[in-house]
Amino acid sequence: MNQQQSGTKTTNWLKTLSIAALVTGAAILFTGCQKNNIEEIKAFYTTESLPIQEATNFETLFTDSGQVRFSLKAPKLLRFEADGRDYTEFPEGLELVKYDEHQKVISSITANYARQYLADHKWEAKNNVIATNANGDTLKTEVLYWEEKNERIYTDEFVKIIRTDQIITGIGFTSDQKMQNWKIRDPKGTIYVSVNNQQQSADTTQNINRNVKTDAEPLKGVLQMNKPAQ
């Protein structure tokens, strides 16, 4: 009889121990899963992926001493805070126009994507970037940077510059922000265009009666254009 009671107690104790172990294991598993899920959620929803500000059909003016210096238009604007390097993103592109003291347009930049790094006062434009100056010269590239403090624009990528009388291609470009004094680091070739038509287009490949001569050998060195002295 005592042996039977002892065996029953042992069996009950083992069942209780098994249940306790099962509950403890489930609790540990749940806690681990919960912790992992929280960490995954935190990793997914970082400040990098969540904008603190959003706007559509955005337009604004940048002024200095009461005078308009720049105008900005963008279909969409997103502002982010990321580890102290705040930036504004234009995922659907932008149009940035610079004016002189008489409110005349002296340069413009359009692109399909852009970022503005607020602390660095630096802009980055990508994908179908087109920049123009007051003379009608047009720069085409895929990446272009603008440093506001240094008042310069530059790229290390392939560029094409379209002027009224020539088309210049090369690798690497730097200029003042008015795009008046520029140079190409590694020129690749030049097409000279003689215009016999009063109407001149920024795209010299259309609607112009011209004679074209292409350099047989790629140019080497630095090609530089300075604004004529006034």
Q: For the segment 110-161, what is each residue's pLDDT rounded down to a tens digit?
A: 999 999 998 899 999 999 999 999 888 999 999 999 998 899 999 999 999 9
Are residue 130 and residue 39 in the same domain, yes or no? no
* Torsion (CA) 160, 163, 165, 168 in degrees, nearest 10: -20
Q: How confident is the model at residue 14 (pLDDT cuts 50, 70, 90)?
A: very low
CB atoms within 10 A of CB 25: 10
pLDDT of 8 reads 53
Q: Are residues 28 and 74 in the same domain?
A: no
Average pLDDT, the chain: 75
**Average pLDDT of 95-106?**
89
Section 193-217 average pLDDT: 43
Domain assignment of residue 40, given as a range: 1-45
Instruction: Count up the domains in the chain and report the number.
Output: 2
Q: What pLDDT, on the 0 to 100 scale, is given for residue 221?
A: 42
Sign of CA dihedral 28, 30, 31, 35: positive
Q: Does residue 35 share a domain with residue 102?
A: no
Helix (H, G, I), strand (E, B) or coil at 79: strand
Is the pLDDT score of 169 beyond 70? yes
The distance of Cα 15 from the centroid of its chain, to the nearest Å, equals: 64
Q: Hey, how many other C-beta atoms are within 10 angstroms of the C-beta on 118?
A: 13
95 and 193 both lie in a single domain: yes
Region of residue 52 (left: phi > 0; alpha: psi -120 to 50; beta: else): alpha
Residues 190 and 85 in one domain: yes
Q: Are residues 99 and 197 in the same domain?
A: yes
3-class state of residue 72 by DSSP: strand
On whether both 11 and 58 belong to a single domain, the answer is no
Query: Which pLDDT does position 114 carry in this prediction?
Result: 97
Q: How far apart are CA 57 and CA 72, in angstroms?
A: 11
Q: In this structure, what are the phi and psi dihedrals at residue 22, rounded to the nearest 5 degrees?
A: -65, -45
Q: Tell me the one-letter amino acid at 127.
A: N
State both tokens at 77: 């604007």
- Per-residue tokens: 214: 């292409």
- Number of Cβ atoms within 10 Å of the Cβ of 109: 22
Per residue in 24-82, pLDDT (tens digit) is 544 444 455 454 555 554 444 454 578 899 999 999 998 888 888 889 999 999 999 87
Q: Which of 61, 54, 57, 60 is nearest to 79 (CA)?
A: 54
Torsion over CA: 54, 55, 60, 65 (sign):
negative
Neighbours of 52 (CB within 10 A): 10
58 and 36 inside one domain: no
113-117 vs 105-111, strand pairing mode: unpaired
Please tell me which residue, 36 or 173, carries the higher pLDDT value. 173
In a domain, 20, yes or no: yes
Task: List, in sequence order, every residue forming a beta bridge with 182; answer none if it has no partner.
Answer: 175, 225
